[in-house]
Amino acid sequence: MVAKLTQGFWAKTANIILRNRILILLMVVGMTVFLGFQWDKMRFSNSQANLLPDDHPVNVEYQSFLKKFGEEGNAIVFAIRDSSLFTPENFNRWNKFSKQLAAFPEVDLVISTENLKELVKDNDKQQFTMRPLITSESRTKAEVDSIKNHLFNNMPFYDNLLFNASSGTVRTVANLDSDIVNTTVRKDFILQDLKNLVSRFEQDTGMDVRVSGMPYIRTMNSQNIIDEIGKFILAALGVTSLIFFFFFRSFRATFISMLVVIVGVMWAFGTLGLLQYEITVLTALIPPLIIVIGIPNCIFLINKYQQEVKKHGNQALSLQRVIAKIGNATLMTNVTTASGFATFIITDSKLLKEFGVVASINILGIFILSLLIIPIVYSFMPLPKTKHLKHLNKRWIDTFVNWMENIVRNKRISVYVVSLILLIASIIGIYQIRISGSIIEDMPKNAEFFKDIRFFEQEFDGIMPVEIVVDTKTPRGVLKPANLKRIDRLGTLIDETPELSKPVSIVNLVKYSKQAFYNGIPKYYQLPTSQENTFIMDVAKNSADNGNMLNSFVDSTGQTARITTFMQDVKTERMEAIEADLNENISKIFPSERFNVYMTGGALIFLKGTKYLVKNLILSLALAIGLIALFMAYLFRSFRMIIISLIPNLLPLVVTAGVMGFVGVPIKPSTILVFSIAFGISVDDTIHFLAKYRQELLANNWKIKVSVYAALRETGVSMFYTSIVLFFGFSVFIISNFGGTVALGALVSATLLFAMLANLILLPSLLLSLERNIANKKVLKEPQIDILPQDGNDAG
């Protein structure tokens, strides 16, 4: 009953579409124009992706830190490692560069040799004052050398902050205004004003300026994402159109298909603008995804149209049958694909949720566009010529189908053995998969800004901020000598960790105060003794600059201190080991009943977010499998058929996971998508094959072998066509500069190719081997929805 209603619905739909061609085309144009006007609302992500939900404890701690101390990742750093810097001309030019930098309204504070101040004691007033290191331009090499020697040998407070004495590298730090750090103003400033300033300096001096810091890295990375969107779209259009033309040998068919997917891409961008979602490294993949997923729809519909034309030559009847017979099958496959993406919506990750919403909406959108545009455009064109129908009888396709049929007929045991070996090997590989929480792992390795990241790691031990917050639970408790010693002990442990930079905290300022108290002698750069503490603190209290300096290290109540260090780009296992080791020492140094101490910062937030994302992946993938299992149950009303249909779709996912383990591709935000994307798409082949198989069973009076081979021959061609398009379509991501996107493209392509073979070889083999248990009238009852009409053919 339901099946008859479904057939009637699609017959009516076909009549409505073909009778209202002009109106529907105008509606499509109107919708495209409307979504086109939403493009100006599109925003590129200006902040680091926070993968954790807002109420997650780690996020709550991070927000608490930002509230107390302000934005932690707002510093841009500039460095030169060149002995020619220490000539009067170049040194003065470097100081002028710092002045020019400070003049920009977007820059809040600059710390450099130009404005560096030395803490000294005023014996007359019994207070500390800040004395400029440089009072005038240097005229001689001796003056520059004197400044350099004084800085490198007598000012340990600035060691690893403004210089590396062993290599002679000098650094300038510019803190951006916290109000613009996560806005487009930051992007414009960095890409225009800052780059021009650096370029002019390099031209004037011939020296190479290294630039880094989280605002700079995020800006350059975002620009790479923007540059790649256009590259992906053009590559996807180029590859899919070439393959399409190779199969159909028709400019007309290729043009129509390209028209459909280009409109689909316009809708995708419009959806992003309409929902006001940011374009991130994930949502940037949606337009090329729409192209890759949309082309198979075109293949099914155009193939069916040409089959009908070849059969009877009646254009009106051919177009009506295309919609009536293939519309339902295409809807079902697009719904399953959209379901795979839609499962991301239930995750707590904003990044994945937005990706899932836009992707699932536009997959259904490209289905609607295919169903409307292709029959309507063909209705205005003459019938395809004989040469355009030749591809329906290609011998090499027959060779491929014969090869598959031969394997299914004669080598089923070999199929099972190979599948079992792959399964066992993949399970071994899965245990070797690692999770990557690195912020910079996916960044383009050949980009100049990435090379600068490595430079700063080498010179200053890292660029990713890690913060340790120490709450003494007592107002002004930070400055108590016992607490300063505890902070110093922890600082020593951080300094002894090779992957972490020398920490900066209130302890550094107190040590500097003692050095100043003893007239700047470097050996006194240490914590005061109990006796010295009283005198030094009395002098510090009288100092006008003391409060300003303290604000960088201690909150306004004097109760909470921050310890800032920077982490190198290390493997997740090592990062977790460092975190565990520090937490263990923190619990020993700071008893929990007297102190509240926690670690935070961008690097740790990203690591925790990635691990959280992996949990969400497992949930979303399980949900996708569950949804599609229910879908199969609704279609075929057979538990056995659910199991049989899931095996050839889950095996490729297991194999892919195993390959990731063996090859060393980690689980990270980019590669997390592989499994849901591949599963959502590959299950389409299963639906087509099983629908055709059930149809053949009814037509052949439940003769299993005849039905399996007939279904294999009928669906094999279209499954081969679509799989090849999908394989090469996803392969365009390999041209990306981002490691994660390259891995995503390669893994999805390989998974879908293997899924095609599983559906065309393993699935028929299982049906034949288990024929007595599966293929009988009780098990395969009349389905709820007839995917393929009784008198129709598959799109193959």
Cα separation, 597 vs 207, in Å, equals: 43
Cα separation, 30 vs 286, in Å, equals: 22
**Full-model pTM:** 0.75
CATH node for 2-48+220-431+606-774: 1.20.1640.10
Cα separation, 195 vs 417, in Å, equals: 60
Cα separation, 352 vs 52, in Å, equals: 11
Domain definitions of the chain by residue range: 2-48+220-431+606-774
Average of per-residue pLDDT across 502-509 = 87
pLDDT of res. 6: 61
pLDDT of res. 92: 92
pLDDT of res. 459: 86
Average of per-residue pLDDT across 399-411 = 81
What pLDDT band is residue 7 in, cutting at 50, 70 and 90?
low
Q: Which of 116-125, 262-271, 495-504 has the lowest mean pLDDT?
A: 116-125
Ordered alpha helix ranges (H), 758-782: 763-769, 771-774
Asked if pLDDT for residue 548 goes beyond 70, the answer is no
Asked if pLDDT for residue 790 goes beyond 70, the answer is no
Helix (H, G, I), strand (E, B) or coil at 286: helix
Asked if pLDDT for residue 424 goes beyond 90, the answer is yes
Task: Tell me phi and psi for residue 164, to 5 degrees.
Answer: -120, 105
Q: What is the DSSP letter of 734?
A: G
Average of per-residue pLDDT across 651-677 = 82
Asked if pLDDT for residue 477 goes beyond 60, the answer is yes
Q: Which of 190-199, 464-473, 718-727, 753-762 has the lowest mean pLDDT?
A: 718-727
pLDDT of res. 387: 61
328-351: pLDDT as tens digits: 777 877 887 887 788 788 777 777
Cα separation, 346 vs 360, in Å, equals: 13
pLDDT of res. 679: 79
Q: What is the DSSP letter of 139?
A: -
Q: What does pLDDT average to over the chain?
A: 81
Asked if pLDDT for residue 131 goes beyond 60, the answer is yes
What pLDDT band is residue 573 in, cutting at 50, 70 and 90?
confident
Cα separation, 389 vs 569, in Å, equals: 56
Q: What is the DSSP letter of 467?
A: E
Q: Which residues contact 508 (CB under 8 A, 6 or more apart)?
A: 157, 553
Average of per-residue pLDDT across 404-413 = 83
Higher-confidence residue: 362 or 182? 362
pLDDT of res. 50: 67
pLDDT of res. 792: 42
Long-range contacts: 148-152, Cβ < 8 Å, 24+?
148/86, 151/113, 151/116
Higher-confidence residue: 685 or 597? 597
Q: Which residues contact 586 (CB under 8 A, 6 or more apart)?
A: 468, 490, 597, 599
Higher-confidence residue: 662 or 383? 662
pLDDT of res. 380: 86
Number of Cβ atoms within 10 Å of the Cβ of 79: 23
Look at the chain and count its residues.
Answer: 796
Nearest in space to 147 (alpha carbons), one of 81, 91, 217, 221: 91
Asked if pLDDT for residue 506 goes beyond 70, the answer is yes
607-622: pLDDT as tens digits: 777 777 777 777 777 8
Number of Cβ atoms within 10 Å of the Cβ of 502: 16
Task: Give the bridge partners for 596, in sequence order.
Answer: 471
**66 to each of 47, 61, 456, 500, 562, how far by Cα in Å?**
14, 9, 25, 21, 11
Asked if pLDDT for residue 549 goes beyond 70, the answer is no
pLDDT of res. 772: 61
pLDDT of res. 396: 65
Average of per-residue pLDDT across 134-150 = 88
Q: Which residue has the tokens 């939403």?
A: 38
Q: Which of 143-157, 206-220, 397-411 has the lowest mean pLDDT?
A: 397-411
pLDDT of res. 5: 56
Q: Which residues contact 356 (CB under 8 A, 6 or more apart)?
A: 341, 342, 343, 344, 345, 347
pLDDT of res. 93: 92
**259 to each of 11, 265, 295, how far by Cα in Å?**
25, 10, 11
Cα separation, 515 vs 273, in Å, equals: 57
Q: Which of 45-49, 114-118, 452-456 has the lowest mean pLDDT?
A: 45-49
pLDDT of res. 270: 92
Q: Which residues contact 27 (CB under 8 A, 6 or more apart)?
A: none
Average of per-residue pLDDT across 149-166 = 87
